[in-house]
Amino acid sequence: MTPPHFMHELITGNDAVDHEAEDVEGGTDEASFNRQQIPTQPATDHFALSLLKSKKMWKLKVSEDGSPWLRSTNNHYGRQVWEFDPELGSLEEIAEVEEARKTFVEKWFKQKHSSDILMRIQFAKENHHHSVLPQVEIKDVDDITEEKVANVLRRAIGFHSSLQEDDGHWPGDNGGPLFLLPGLNIDGGWGLHIEGHSTMFCSVLNYVSLRLLGVNNDEESIEMARIWILDHGGATATPSWGKLWLSVLGAYEWSGNNPLPPELWLLPYILPLYPGKVWCHARMVYLPMSYLHGKRFVGPITPTVLALRDELFTVPYHNIDWNETRNMCPKEYLYCPHTFIQKIIWATIDKIMEPIIMKWPGNKIREKALQRVMEHIHYEDENTQYICLSSVNKMLNMICCWVEDPNSEAFKLHLPRIHDCLWLAEDGMKMNGCNGSQTWDTGFAIQAIVSANLIEEFGQTLKKAHKFLKRSQVLDNAPGDPSHWYRHISKDYTAEGLKVSAFSPWIVSDYTAEGLKVVLTATSWRKDDAVDGLLAIIVNHGLGERDQVSKDEEEMESDVRLLIATVKMGKDVNMFQPGRDFILVKDDVGHNLKFDPVRFFSDLGATCT
């Protein structure tokens, strides 16, 4: 999430507004901090006038192509991206956007979540045929009747239906993690998520991001963040992920990192530390990280990078003992401390293995390992249409493709997919955890309508949603031998986020379960009754043709079989893939175990029971 004083450019595209803050006197309470420490806009009249003169806005576009470098096998159904349109926006609409932006800034520290006002303004204009029922008046509990409850439900679902896209899904924000894009805390730092306390990892990365975007080091928000970082030990105390990003940038030395040897990918699968056994979200992040570490890649050293070397550390850059910084991490953010055995392993790899592998003939092994890693990266990219499992490994993969060949087709195919990860609202531009939660949200919307027994009244809404979910089912397995790429079969699963069958073969058991539950909502848990329920909803209410039902029945049976396949050796259902044997790094629900190098979060996954 971008800081408030950058929202104007992101929302309206106006780059000619002065950012000089007003001098406001006040105390040190939250309200005065809101006025003092966050740079405010210039005088309201001047700002409003420049805003209205710009007449520029962003527009949400759904299920569109827009680039010759975009690939899809389902005609981009469910794709949602924001694009800048210099011709869009009436004076009234731009004024409404500015009012929403200003209101959000005023409530910055009390209300962290946005309300997608920009999207609602756009949909209100495009879906004007949707009428909102009058509000039901209820003075006390005695006024509540079945009829009034039904009218309240009709009003709520009617409004929600007006936010449905023509392709059948409900667009929306899927952001939150602030190591993706920033959101300022009252103490000057940034947290792991929009409601989290400040952490060194997010504070350093977001400070660096703002400086790279051109924010001067004497701006109030930057000064506050720098004070917070230095007071907590400086950037040498940032965890491993932060150290890697700083090293790629050139604001930190690779010798200050614990090793991430790509040679691990050459080891036999039977070994307990083999990365192919690791939870997919950890594995797909370590994969490109090991490539960058193996290459010791450093970007161009610009004046801004040199300035960051001076700003982020408590001692002069040339005096830092990088060997001592490898394991530095503030105790208050050390959720998963390194074990003694783990420290010995990292030190052994760093002091013995790395010097050998970096010189001939050991470098031949390094070259082979880097080639193996890039094979896995290209497989992930190509089989997700360059969206990848998440926006975290997508950006890392993109850098690796550029390091391998800046003019490669792979890098060019990555670029337009950046837009799939971004979302815009009155709080500014942010990066989603993945490319959306479309199937998840659509499944819940269908369940709500069916549970409210309003199927006939919202038949068209259900029909569009049903078609979207059908397009969202993964109909093919990833090419090749899944075990070679440490993957599981994916056919007939409902994939994460938008991840319709065309976009990604990554399976998600809870998304699949919710899609299946749409069919089971009004029926018993017997499979035969579930199929009958599918017939009743689709055929009797005119949501589909009878010849579609047999196929739906087959796909639903496949869903059940594949959900059973994800059951671990016990009682739980895994999120992404079946449990694997002898995992010592991160298990399939993200629990940190003995040899996990990540230290700034723990138990990040969820188990579906």
> Does the pLDDT of residue 548 top 60, yes or no?
no
Average pLDDT over residues 238-245: 93
Q: Average model confidence (pLDDT) for the chain?
A: 76
Regarding predicted confidence, which is higher, 258 or 51? 258
Tokens 């420290």: give the residue: 343
Nearest Cα to 389, choosing from 494, 244, 504?
504
Average pLDDT over residues 18-37: 37
> Does the pLDDT of residue 598 top 70, yes or no?
no
Q: β-strand 422-425 against 190-191: which pairing, if any? A: unpaired
In degrees, rounded to 5, the angle at the alpha carbon of residue 466 between the alpha carbons of residues 462 and 472 is 145
Distance CA 83, CA 61 (A): 7
Nearest Cα to 388, choosing from 468, 280, 471?
280
Confidence class of residue 230 from pLDDT cuts 50, 70 and 90?
A: very high
Handedness of CA 216, 217, 220, 226 (dihedral sign): positive
Distance CA 257, CA 221 (A): 29
> Does the pLDDT of residue 401 top 80, yes or no?
yes
Q: What is the four-CA torsion angle of 6, 7, 12, 15, rounded to 10 degrees? A: -10
Choice among 46-50, 279-283, 434-438, 471-475 with the minimum mean pLDDT: 46-50
Determine if the pTM surpasses 0.85.
no
Distance CA 497, CA 390 (A): 10
Nearest Cα to 323, choosing from 258, 234, 242?
258
Task: Please tell me the total number of residues recorded for the chain in this structure.
Answer: 609
Q: Where would I find the H helices in 256-406?
A: 280-295, 303-311, 322-325, 340-348, 354-357, 362-383, 391-404
Beta strands per DSSP E along 86-230: 190-191, 198-199
The one-letter amino acid code at 212 reads: L
Residue 275: the pLDDT is 87
Average pLDDT over residues 126-130: 70
Residues of the chain with pLDDT > 90: what percent? 33
> Does the pLDDT of residue 45 top 80, yes or no?
no
Choice among 240-244, 296-300, 515-519 with the minimum mean pLDDT: 515-519
Residues 6+ apart with CB under 8 A from 299: 248, 249, 250, 305
Angle of helix 527-535 relative to helix 509-520, nearest 10 degrees? Answer: 70
Distance CA 78, CA 167 (A): 7
Residue 492: the pLDDT is 45
Confidence class of residue 563 from pLDDT cuts 50, 70 and 90?
A: low
Query: Do the Cβ atoms of 448 and 454 come closer than 8 Å?
Result: no
DSSP β-bridge partners for residue 59: 83
DSSP string over 182-219: --B-TTS-EESBTTSPEEHHHHHHHHHHHHHTT--TTS
Nearest Cα to 175, choosing from 165, 183, 185, 163?
183
420 is annotated as an active-site residue? no
> Does the pLDDT of residue 312 top 90, yes or no?
yes
Phi, psi of 83 (to 5 degrees): -125, 145
155-175: string of b/e by CB count within 10 Å (b at 16+)?
eebbebbbbbbebbbbbbbbb
With left for phi above 0 and alpha for psi between -120 and 50, is residue 511 left, alpha or beta?
Answer: alpha
pLDDT single digits (tens) 447-500: 889 888 898 899 899 889 888 887 877 767 777 887 788 876 665 444 444 343
pLDDT single digits (tens) 73-114: 677 888 999 998 888 878 888 888 888 888 888 887 777 788
Distance CA 55, CA 375 (A): 47
Residues 6+ apart with CB under 8 A from 174: 423, 432, 433, 434, 435, 436, 437, 497
Regarding predicted confidence, which is higher, 255 or 545? 255
pLDDT single digits (tens) 150-164: 999 999 999 999 999
- Spot the catalytic one: 116, 441, 510, 559: 510
Distance CA 21, CA 344 (A): 51
Q: What is the four-CA torsion angle of 195, 200, 205, 210, rounded to 10 degrees? A: 70
Average pLDDT over residues 259-278: 88
DSSP string over 20-60: PPP-----SSHHHHHHHTSPPPS-HHHHHHHHHHH--EEEE
Phi, psi of 268 (to 5 degrees): -65, 145
pLDDT single digits (tens) 192-217: 777 777 889 989 999 999 999 999 99
Residues 6+ apart with CB under 8 A from 502: 72, 73, 74, 75, 76, 77, 385, 471
Residue 68: the pLDDT is 84
> Does the pLDDT of residue 541 top 90, yes or no?
no
Query: Do the Cβ atoms of 194 and 113 come closer than 8 Å?
Result: yes
Average pLDDT over residues 171-182: 65
> Does the pLDDT of residue 308 top 50, yes or no?
yes
Distance CA 161, CA 173 (A): 17
